[in-house]
Amino acid sequence: MSMESAAWHSLWRMSGPDKGKAYAATTPRRVVAFAASYKNRLLVFVLFSVISAVLAVVTPVLAGRVVDAIVAQTGIQVVLKLAAIIALVAVLDAVVSLVVRWFSSRLGEGIIFDLRTAVFDHVQKMPVAFFTRTRTGALVSRLNNDVIGAQSAFAGTLSGLVSNTVALLLTAGVMFSTSWQVTALALVLLPVFLLPARHFGKSLALLRKESADLNASMGTQMTERFSAPGATLIKLFGRPADESAQFATRAGRVRDIGVKMAMRQFFFVSMLTLVAALALALVYGLGGVYAMRGELAAGDVVVLALLLTRLYAPLTALANARVEITSALVSFDRVFEILDLKPLITDAPHARVLDPGPVSVKFSNVSFAYPSAEKVSLASLEDVSVLDTRGGETVLHGIDFEIPAGTTVALVGSSGAGKSTIASLLARLYDVDAGSVQLAGVDIRELKLGSLRSTVSMVTQDGHLFHETIGSNLRLAKPEASDAELWQALRRARLEPTIEALPDGLDTVVGERGYRLSGGERQRMTIARLLLAAPQVVILDEATAALDSSNEAAVQAALAEALENRTALVIAHRLSTIRTADLILVIEDGRIAERGTHAELLAARGRYAELHDTQFAQ
């Protein structure tokens, strides 16, 4: 490695992630425990790194011996033999470097794979409250930037510590044994090398951090504004110019930082190259004087000069090893933060599968409060300094009702009364705080989540679809479904003609959140998905609230197909859609205020009659 290359390498290593963040005291121990599964590969990796460091010192020594042989005129045979050994060392070094690179890649990519899959699997187990509070971009950053930062601790920092330590000891040993006077004088310039390196490294680190923050802000702005709802909102309020100005301000700052970093890097490298050249001149000058006096062999001068280039780089790298280790530990700490969040919904130790047969639903004296932020989130994921302390207030009080198998119960009431909360408890998106929710007489907390998900399905108001094909979105309910089964589900959902008219049919990509389809089509897609899943219990949460009359009629026809012979819990603001329900519950302030059929509740002239009269008067 040349002096200039060493300078660039040192600069790059020192100007990495933010150095100011702390990490938990237990993080180093957890990292060691995590590394235990890679013990054998790590040992081989370190061994070959040591061999590579040794070979890097051998070549300059052999080059010096060649010079001595030429000066002493010891014969062509000796020179050729030394040249052959140098060639052999070069080949061996190439092979060892290849092995080190292979182990480094295997180790690094293996760690990335394990950490990413662990975080991804863990995040999927988190409650819905976690996703309602967390910034999606922050989660993605943990899976990308922080995982890669943690990986560098093994693939980069560990190898660097070992190889640089060995290289430094061997190089210094050989140089001092060759000429301690020349070596000592050459090292006098070392502070001129290290002090600017620290100053410029910290300066560039701050600039890199600011640039990264600005890029993250631009990324967030682009993600939100380039989505269909975001772009529509900006257009509706006529703000494109303001958005462009805001984006340009951030992009301009990134540009200015880039120029400043480029100039500082060039100045830094130029200065270090100059210092290295002065040290090399000192070695040649002083070494040459000693050689002419006969106090030092000519070959030793060459050895000292060549080894000097291998001395400054490891010295600088080791001087900044603490920074690199701290950066890696910070990344690990941020990954462990996610893994330490406890999922609220898990399988009980002796969870079982629901027995086949008709399924009834029963809420027995259910009370519930949404979990506080500290139970489901992290301040760093919400981009706040302190988590919101609110929460834990009871929103459902003593909810008692039953849905016999094959019947329909409807929930009506004011917004925020607790209707959707009841539906979420039946789907076990949350667990009750008191009482129980039962399926066929079994508390749902005693059922395996897989069994519960195959028994209970839910259609929500937004009809969410992924940016994938129609077939992929439908197979979310039944991965092994054939095309014929998909078409049958679409036919029953009154959507077959629409999909047949599309150029790619089932292979049509529906766009982000399904925005290439109309609201009614998206909703019927979710109903087709439900029909494909064939659950015994169906939850409809405002499934037609956002639809016009014509779309509502089509969706209602599809829903009638979906609810046939199934146990159903239906939430609706439009009372006209639930007149035929077997039982209607009026929910107010988290309690059941009234219960009865449509006719009974109208006759009672209570809250239901008030809601009914208000809607139909309008």
- Of 3-7, 94-98, 261-265, 504-508, give the lowest mean pLDDT range: 3-7
Q: How far apart are alpha carbons 324 and 149 in whole angstroms?
A: 10
Question: With 60 as the cut, is the pLDDT of residue 524 above it?
Answer: yes
Q: How far apart are alpha carbons 430 and 372 in whole angstroms?
A: 13
Helix (H) or strand (E) holding 401: strand 394-403
**361-379+391-617: what fold?**
Rossmann fold (3.40.50)
Whether 361-379+391-617 and 3-15+23-340 are alike in CATH topology: the answer is: no
Work out the pLDDT band at 401, boundaries 50, 70, 90.
very high
pLDDT tens for residues 197-223? Answer: 566 656 665 676 677 667 766 766 776
pLDDT computed for residue 154 by the predictor: 65
What is the arithmetic mean of pLDDT over 303-332?
70
What is the arithmetic mean of pLDDT over 389-397?
79
- Please tell me what DSSP assigns to residue 462: S
Q: How far apart are alpha carbons 432 and 107 in whole angstroms?
A: 44
Work out the pLDDT band at 437, boundaries 50, 70, 90.
very high
* Average pLDDT of the chain, as a whole number: 78
Helix (H) or strand (E) holding 209: helix 190-225
Work out the pLDDT band at 552, boundaries 50, 70, 90.
low
Nearest one of 309, 455, 407 to 7, comparing CA atoms: 309
Could you give the percent of the chain with pLDDT greater than 70? Answer: 79
Q: For domain 3-15+23-340, which architecture applies? A: Up-down Bundle (1.20)
Q: How far apart are alpha carbons 410 and 567 in whole angstroms?
A: 11
Strand duo 537-541 + 456-459: pairing:
parallel
What is the arithmetic mean of pLDDT over 573-597?
88
260-293: burial string, b at 16+ Cβ within 10 Å, e else: ebeebbeebbebbbebbeebbebbbebbeebbee
pLDDT: which is higher, 535 or 46: 535
pLDDT: which is higher, 250 or 4: 250
Taking the CB of residue 257, how many other CB atoms lie within 10 A of it? 16
pLDDT computed for residue 15 by the predictor: 45
- Of 466-470, 491-495, 552-556, give the lowest mean pLDDT range: 552-556
In order of 494, 534, 556, the CA distances from 552 in angstroms are 12, 22, 6
pLDDT computed for residue 397 by the predictor: 93
pLDDT: which is higher, 417 or 325: 417
What is the arithmetic mean of pLDDT over 37-58?
80
pLDDT: which is higher, 223 or 357: 357
Longest pairwise C-alpha distance within the chain = 121
pLDDT tens for residues 116-127? Answer: 888 888 888 888
Could you give the percent of the chain with pLDDT greater than 90? Answer: 15
pLDDT tens for residues 171-182? Answer: 777 777 777 777
What is the arithmetic mean of pLDDT over 149-154?
68
Burial of 4 (0-12, 13-18, 19+ CB in 10 A): middle
- Any bridge partners for residue 596, and if so which? 584
φ, ψ (nearest 5 deg) of residue 283: -65, -45
Helix (H) or strand (E) holding 218: helix 190-225
pLDDT tens for residues 60-72? Answer: 777 777 776 776 7
What is the arithmetic mean of pLDDT over 240-269?
81
Question: With 60 as the cut, is the pLDDT of residue 108 above it?
Answer: yes
Domain residue limits, the chain: 3-15+23-340, 361-379+391-617
- Of 214-218, 258-262, 430-434, give the lowest mean pLDDT range: 214-218
Is the Cα dihedral 89, 94, 100, 103 positive or negative?
negative
Work out the pLDDT band at 21, boundaries 50, 70, 90.
very low
pLDDT: which is higher, 363 or 282: 363
Q: How far apart are alpha carbons 3 and 310 in whole angstroms?
A: 8
Work out the pLDDT band at 78, boundaries 50, 70, 90.
confident
